[in-house]
């Protein structure tokens, strides 16, 4: 059984210290922490090295034995530079993170590759490697495109079950990747076909507005628990090395409105474990 962690987006309303305690109680091995807000309305957790929240997070990591594998999240735009990523790298290094999640928003592939290469160089002294995530509604949406850009920049790829399914990639695309390019696999579930429409949850997640596309709403608020949908998750797990760490990324506003954070986290972990047993 590979190590299993939980991505912050799954329970974004929890502060990083609360996420660590919840993950530990639910039986996880590691967490991903959002040290940089993505949207204008999203809460920016004060995670600068030495801040009270950073120190409390480190204390809870020490008490529970959990680790931080990745920090997130940076959109690589035409003008993105060190001022955008250095605070996140500082925060991630303080937590012991080994990867930094980014997404390619710049449509100019050559410029995006150059930006990612500069980030990769700046991250190396911290022992952190950027991971470029193909996202179905962004310019870099396919696994093969993300892999080509990451290779050229010296970065890695962050695979996400939802965006593989919705972005036009295949299990064969995943199988074709060299293991060194895939430090982690994010997992969730959902219907095989893209929904034509989705009903917005009564309580929108932090930073989410009501005018998002179906793909955005599903990705940020209505993902399914692993094993409770139709995604070919057993095939996806078989397409990566068996010891690849798995990170649960399942934001679901409907379920989190009626389950406690620990109950929801534990339900997702049980779903991942059942996939491996199967």
- Name the pLDDT band for 254 (thresholds 50, 70, 90): very high
Per-residue tokens: 254: 């409907």
pTM of structure: 0.94
The arrangement of strands across the sheet holding 4-6 comes to 156-157, 129-132, 99-104, 67-76, 30-34, 4-6, 246-248, 185-187, 159-160
pLDDT score, position 173: 98
Q: Which tens digit of pLDDT belongs to each residue from 68-81?
A: 999 999 999 999 99
Tens digit of pLDDT for each residue in 129-166?
999 999 999 999 999 999 999 999 999 999 999 999 99
Reported as type and span, the H/E element at residue 187 is strand 185-187
- Distance of alpha carbon 76 from alpha carbon 132, whole angstroms: 9
* Span 4-277 CATH architecture: Alpha-Beta Barrel (3.20)
Q: Is the dihedral of CA 181, 119, 133, 100 positive or negative?
A: positive
User: What is the four-CA torsion angle of 254, 255, 258, 263, rounded to 10 degrees?
Assistant: -160
21-68 confidence digits (pLDDT tens): 999 999 999 999 999 998 877 889 999 999 999 999 999 999 999 999
Residues 6+ apart with CB under 8 A from 17: 53, 56, 57, 59, 60
Distance of CA 107 to the CA centre of its chain: 21
CA pair distance 98, 260, nearest whole angstrom: 29
């Amino acid at each position: 059984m590979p190590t299993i962690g939980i991505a912050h987006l799954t329970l974004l309303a929890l502060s990083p210290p609360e996420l660590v305690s919840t993950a530990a109680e639910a039986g996880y091995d590691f967490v991903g922490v959002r040290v940089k807000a993505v949207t204008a309305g999203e809460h920016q957790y004060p995670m600068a090295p030495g801040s009270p929240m950073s120190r409390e997070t480190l204390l809870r990591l020490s008490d529970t034995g959990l680790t931080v594998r990745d920090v997130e999240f940076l959109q690589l735009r035409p003008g993105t530079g060190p001022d955008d990523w250095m605070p996140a790298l500082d925060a991630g290094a303080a937590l012991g993170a080994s990867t930094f999640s980014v997404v390619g928003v710049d449509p100019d592939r050559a410029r995006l590759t150059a930006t990612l290469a500069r980030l990769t160089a700046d991250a190396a002294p911290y022992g952190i490697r950027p991971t470029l995530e193909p996202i179905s509604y962004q310019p870099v949406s396919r696994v093969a495109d993300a892999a080509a850009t990451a290779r050229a920049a010296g970065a890695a790829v962050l695979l996400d079950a939802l965006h593989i399914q919705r972005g036009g990639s295949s299990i064969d695309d995943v199988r074709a990747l060299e293991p060194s390019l895939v430090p982690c696999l994010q997992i969730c579930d959902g219907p095989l076909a893209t929904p034509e429409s989705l009903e917005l949850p009564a309580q929108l997640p932090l930073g989410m507005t009501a005018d998002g596309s179906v793909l955005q709403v599903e990705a940020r608020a209505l993902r399914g628990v692993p094993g409770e949908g139709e995604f070919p998750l057993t095939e996806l797990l078989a397409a990566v090395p068996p010891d690849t760490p798995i990170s649960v990324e399942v934001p679901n506003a409907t379920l989190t409105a009626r389950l406690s954070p620990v109950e929801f986290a534990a339900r997702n972990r049980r779903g991942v474990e059942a996939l491996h047993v199967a």
